[in-house]
């Protein structure tokens, strides 16, 4: 969005903390999201992403810290805040006792919206979710992908200003994912604020203006995808495969090539400014990988680096 500098923060979290017993699911995190931004929470399972989403929706009570959504505390003004939220939870929670179209209409009634608005809106959203011919079907007869699309359609029934998407494309086929990304991109263009959790790095790179990497309830890094890659990874990555038996043993012989080396079970990653040059060094040492690939660094690499999985520095 133009003029994004002057926009208000629609979400502000300060020292946000959530304990379940002794376990800190969210541990002292702070972040701000300006209006119209597409903001991502990236992290492994159990990192605290969903808990953060639930607190934003006001359906989970924080242990300490402060949180405001459009200037209001979601614990004090839950119904009013949620009138402007659309939520796609991680697990579909469609109403199995209602038929497909009724799921949209009844959900809209929860927002107090009139039927004269909801009926055409429901048909429009069914069209978007490619479920028009399933309008009268029972929910449990839908495939996993169809249920996901219906959940996403349902989240748009109140034309939300803030859309919370908790791993929205998990379980969707590639074509459906691209359709959804396109739709989300259009929502973003219309000024809707998107809050997204994902562990698909390509999704985060496609959709997020800015993201935080979270692990064990803490924020590890924050910035735009490009900035995170610049700060936490190298320009290029050389991927080498020596066969699953040999990857770790070969890693020792590769020491000194590139800036950083990461042996994984199926391949060895060499982080370097110049991938081709690094590959020449590898062959010069008499090592011949089965396959080699030079690619740009991605968020995947940032993530591996930050969440600290067996790094060889």
Partner 1 sequence: MTEKLTHSAAPSSADPLTDADYRITPQTRRFSALYSRNAKAVIARGLRATKSSNWLIMVSGFFEPVLYLISMGVGLGALVGTVVGPGGEEISYAAYIAPALLAVSAMNGAVYDSTWNVFFKMNFAKLYQGMLYTSLGPLDVAIGEIFLALLRGAMYATGFTAVMGIMGLITTPWALLMVPASVLIAFGFASFGMGITSYMKTFQQMDWINFVMLPMFLFSATFYPLSVYPQGIQWFIQALPLWHGVELLRQISVGTFTAATSIHILYYLVMILVGMVLTTSRLRKLFLK
Q: CA 218, CA 30: separation in Å to the nearest integer?
A: 9
Among residues 146, 163, 166, the alpha carbon closest in space to that of 155 is found at: 163
Rank residues 79 and 243 by Cβ distance to partner 1 and give the closer one.
79
Rank residues 74 and 225 by Cβ distance to partner 1 and give the closer one.
74
Minimal distance, residue 29 CB to partner 1, in Å:
19
- The overall longest dimension of the chain from CA atoms, in Å, is 74
Rank residues 26 and 299 by Cβ distance to partner 1 and give the closer one.
26
Minimal distance, residue 127 CB to partner 1, in Å:
14
Residue 295 CB neighbour total at 10 angstroms: 12
Rank residues 104 and 237 by Cβ distance to partner 1 and give the closer one.
104
Rank residues 189 and 253 by Cβ distance to partner 1 and give the closer one.
189
Residue 98 CB neighbour total at 10 angstroms: 15
Task: Give me the residues that bind partner 1 (CB under 8 A), please.
Answer: 1, 6-8, 10, 35-36, 57-61, 70-72, 75-85, 87, 89, 91, 93-99, 102, 106-107, 109-114, 117, 158-159, 161, 186-187, 189-193
Rank residues 60 and 272 by Cβ distance to partner 1 and give the closer one.
60
Minimal distance, residue 184 CB to partner 1, in Å:
12
**Helix segments in the chain, DSSP class H:** 49-56, 78-82, 100-110, 115-128, 144-155, 174-189, 201-207, 225-232, 247-253, 275-284, 299-306
Minimal distance, residue 61 CB to partner 1, in Å:
5
Q: CA 117, CA 162: separation in Å to the nearest integer?
A: 20
Minimal distance, residue 46 CB to partner 1, in Å:
17
Tokens of 11: 């979400």
Cβ atoms of 69 and 233 closer than 8 Å: no
Residue 224 CB neighbour total at 10 angstroms: 13
Minimal distance, residue 162 CB to partner 1, in Å:
9
């Amino acid at each position: 969005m133009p003029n994004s500098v002057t926009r208000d923060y629609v979400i502000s979290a300060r020292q946000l903390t959530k304990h379940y017993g002794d376990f800190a699911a969210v541990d002292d995190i702070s972040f701000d999201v300006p209006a119209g931004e597409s903001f991502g929470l990236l992290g492994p399972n159990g990192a605290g992403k969903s808990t953060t989403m639930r607190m934003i929706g006001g359906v989970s009570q924080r242990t300490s810290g402060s949180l405001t959504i459009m200037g209001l505390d979601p614990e004090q003004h839950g119904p009013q805040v949620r009138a402007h939220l659309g939520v796609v939870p991680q697990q579909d929670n469609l109403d199995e006792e209602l038929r497909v179209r009724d799921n949209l209409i009844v959900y809209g009634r929860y927002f107090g919206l009139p039927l004269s608005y909801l009926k055409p809106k429901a048909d429009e959203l069914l069209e978007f979710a490619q479920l028009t011919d399933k309008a009268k079907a029972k929910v449990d007869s839908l495939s996993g992908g169809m249920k996901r699309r219906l959940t996403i359609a349902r989240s748009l029934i109140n034309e939300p200003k803030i859309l919370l998407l908790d791993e929205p494309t998990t379980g969707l086929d590639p074509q459906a994912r691209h359709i959804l990304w396109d739709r989300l991109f259009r929502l973003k263009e219309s000024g809707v604020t998107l809050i997204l959790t994902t562990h698909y790095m390509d999704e985060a790179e496609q959709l997020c203006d800015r993201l935080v990497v979270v692990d064990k309830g803490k924020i590890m890094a924050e910035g735009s995808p490009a900035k995170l890659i610049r700060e936490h990874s190298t320009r290029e990555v050389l991927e080498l495969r020596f066969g699953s038996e040999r990857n770790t043993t070969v890693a020792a012989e590769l020491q000194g090539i590139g800036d950083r080396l990461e042996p994984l079970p199926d391949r060895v990653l060499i982080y370097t400014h110049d991938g081709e040059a690094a590959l020449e060094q590898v062959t010069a040492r008499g090592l011949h990988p089965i396959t080699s690939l030079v690619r740009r660094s991605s968020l995947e690499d940032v993530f591996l680096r930050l969440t600290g999985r067996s790094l060889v520095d």
